Structure formats: C-alpha cells, structure tokens
Structure 1
C-alpha cells in the first residue's frame, strides 16, 4: 500500500462505474474529499475494487495501520451513493466498513470487549463532531490456538467490527466524506493500540492492551 497522509496510489480509482463521466457531482465531490483527506502517518491506504450490487455508485478503500513494519490492524471502507435515496439509510449516502485487529489473548475474556469496541467507532465519529444516523453493526471476537507445525505460535484473539452508518449531508447534498474517513482511521489506530493524536474523547472507553503484529 502507498503511504496515506492524503496521498493515494495511482491505479484503479476504486469506483464501480466504468463510465466515470456519468458519476453524479455529489458523489464525485465526496470521492474527491476522500482522496484529499489528511491522515495519520501510520496509515497506509489504497483504492480497491468497489462492490457492484450495494448501490448505483460505490467507492472503496482498503487500509492498514503500520508501525515499525508491523501490520497492527487493517480494514475496508466503502462509500455508497443512491441519488434516489434509500429508506433504510434515511439518506442518499452510506458508509460500510470492516475493521480487524489482533488482541492479547487475555482480552477475549473481558465481557465488556464488544461494547468497548463499538464505542470506539461511535466515539471516533463524535470526537470529530460528525453528524450521522442509522448506525448498525456487529463486533465479533474469535480465539485461535495453534497445533502441530504451528504450535510455537502464541494463542491469538482477533476482533472484527462490521458496521455501517449514514453520514449527514451538508451543502449541496454532499457529506463531509474526508472527515468520516479521518474518523474511521482514528478507529483503526485505536483498535491497533496506538495513542490518540489529540485529547481522548471522554465518552470512549479504553482497554489496556498492546498488540503485536498481525499474523496471517
């Protein structure tokens, strides 16, 4: 992946429409905001192939949090747009995400872990003053124990957040997609165990964990 900080690699533009000239101006503006966002230096981000069946227009990104050449967390963010609106979204835009990271094994037993991880998502959005609605999702934790030729590996616990939310639209019917991307990167960095770059949000609960590199 190419280092982010507002810079995206040259390659597939991440859209699901081959006819880019027909893209609605509101969607194009939202995509431009994603591509010009200023992000933390630990983020590596690239456009990726967007889904074709979720909405008439879609743009997708994949990202990883990298520190000292270690991949600490990764995820995928998809911006959907339906100019006709969508009843379930209560709007014309929708953001869909998958975020994954590995925790220390003892964290799996914490009964508050799912609630805390969900608070990281909502807290990231609230921490940047973003207005959103219709948020929904799941938090899944799974433990792995290794045997045979892999028995030297330590047990691992993976946390996975799948979520979607409707970004409230501003002037011209365009949401602040760049700010939502920055909030999503805040979530990735928090689940990776990195300290916040600004004052932590008072409504977000932290867990005292430190993860090593992800194993694949």
Structure 2
C-alpha cells in the first residue's frame, strides 16, 4: 500500500471523522519532524487514521512514533467519547538516563504536560512507559550496550463543535513529546526553560 492509498478516507466516513482527519493532514509540525500517513489498524474502531513521524536532526533519526486517530460514532464505554488517540513513541537513551528511577514518571508527564500546555481537554488517559537495555555478545560484542525508552499511551480528546476534537492541536502536542524524547528544546507553546528534555543522542539503531 502506497502513501496515497494509506491517506485515503472513504466518502462514507462520518463528517466529524473526516473533519478531524483533514485537520491532521493540514497541520504543520516543527521542521525537525517528518510526518507521513501510514496504514491504520482495522479492528480497533469502525474508522481509523494513522500517522508515523520521526525527529530528524543532522541526518539521524533521534525519535520516532505512530499516532492513530480512532472513531466510533456510537461511542465507546472505555473511551467515554467517540474519538480516541493511540500512540507509540520511542527513542534511544544514554546509559546514565536509562538508570534514572524517575525517568518513567518524567516521560509520562511530558505527554500530559504537552496536552495541558495547549489547553487541550482530554479524558481516560492510560499507558505504559518501558525501558529496555540490549547487551551484545559473540560476533556483535563490539557494539556498545544500548537502551531505549518506549511510551504507549491513549487518551480521549475533548470534542468541540459538531463533535469534532481539535485534532491538529493534539498532533502538535504529540510532536512536542517526540521532540522532548529526542532531546530537542521545547517550543514556546510547549513550555518554558524549566522543562526537562533528554540530552541529544544517537538515533535508533538498526535491529
């Protein structure tokens, strides 16, 4: 499936969903972020749209992720709404950062803080923050140990006029999370000089 096919939305999709998707398409994230449509999941909701993004600096991918917009016109009890945003983001870590016991709490606060900094209402947030370390042996023993942080999260965006959430603003907040994971300074809308970011590091390693 090519990008044009992945970006196609059926003419039968509800107007609220089509409006939210158009807002995602029209959003312009900060220049370090490359965003493209990708194949959405088919079984999580009647309607879905997905984007993948990478923070690129100096030719290196410093962080990457996926954001999925789900819509069920009938509503969903677990969501407490008709829309849901689901994400997976990840980045490589320096060893000293990976050992910080407060890192999971800090990373989760980056997501909620990015939403709240833009005045975005949301409900039913849930997710996990996972640290993983890889050590190499045998023929790969020359490779240095590597650590990665991964955030899986979902939340229900508050719906506005016509039952449509401010999808573009949620995308902007999500992109700010990506940049903080990548070690880039936040934008003015994303926080002030007191906001902690991870130090810049090498990009995700080949698997």
Q: Contact 2:186 / 2:195 at 8 angstroms: preserved in 1?
A: no
**Could you give the per-residue CA deviations for residues 37-90 of structure 1, whole angstroms, max 9, x where no partner exists?**
021101111111111100000001111000011000000000000000011101
- Structure 2 residue 80 is matched with structure 1 residue 87: no
Q: Matches of 2:126 and 2:93 in 1, distance apart? A: 23
Partner of 2:66: 76
Task: Report the alpha carbon displacement of residue 211 of structure 1 after superposing the two structures with TM.
Answer: 1.4
Which residue of 1 is the match for residue 115 of structure 2?
Answer: 125
Q: Aligned to 1:25, which of 8, 15, 19?
A: 15
Instruction: Say whether 1:46 aligns with 2:36.
Output: yes
In structure 1, the gaps of 5 or more residues are 1-8
CA–CA distance in 1 between the matches of 2:90 and 2:72? 27
What secondary structure, in the 3-state scheme, does the structure 1 residue paired with 2:159 have?
A: coil
CA distance in 1, matches of 2:75, 2:164: 13
Map 1:158-177 to 2 at 5 A.
158-177=148-167
Structure 1 position 139 matched with structure 2 position 132: no
By how many angstroms is 1:105 displaced? 1.1
TM-score of the superposition, structure 1-length normalised? 0.89
Aligned-partner Cα distance in 1 for 2:122–2:190: 20
| 2:169 aligned counterpart, secondary structure | helix
Task: Say if 1:114 and 1:139, in contact at 8 Å, map to a contact too.
Answer: yes
- Secondary structure of the structure 2 residue equivalent to 1:11: helix
Is the CA contact (8 Å cut-off) linking 2:184 and 2:197 kept in structure 1? no
Give the Cα separation in 2 of the matches to 1:56 and 1:138.
25
Q: Distance in 2 between matches of 1:171 and 1:208?
A: 37
Q: For residues 160 and 190 of structure 2, what CA distance do their matches in structure 1 show?
A: 26
Distance in 2, matches of 1:200 and 1:10, equals 30
Q: Which runs of 5+ in 2 are unaligned?
A: none
In 2, Cα distance between equivalents of 1:10 and 1:143: 33
Distance 2:68 2:43 in 1: 12
**Secondary structure in 1 aligned to 2:11?**
helix
The equivalent residue for 1:11 is: 4
Paired position in structure 2 for 1:113: 103
The size of the alignment, in residue pairs, is 205
Deviation at 1:14, TM superposition (A): 3.9
Change (3 A) 1:133 1:172: same
**Residues 176 and 190 of structure 2 are in contact (CA less than 8 Å); yes or no, is this contact kept in structure 1?**
no
State the Cα distance separating 1:179 from its structure 2 match: 0.5
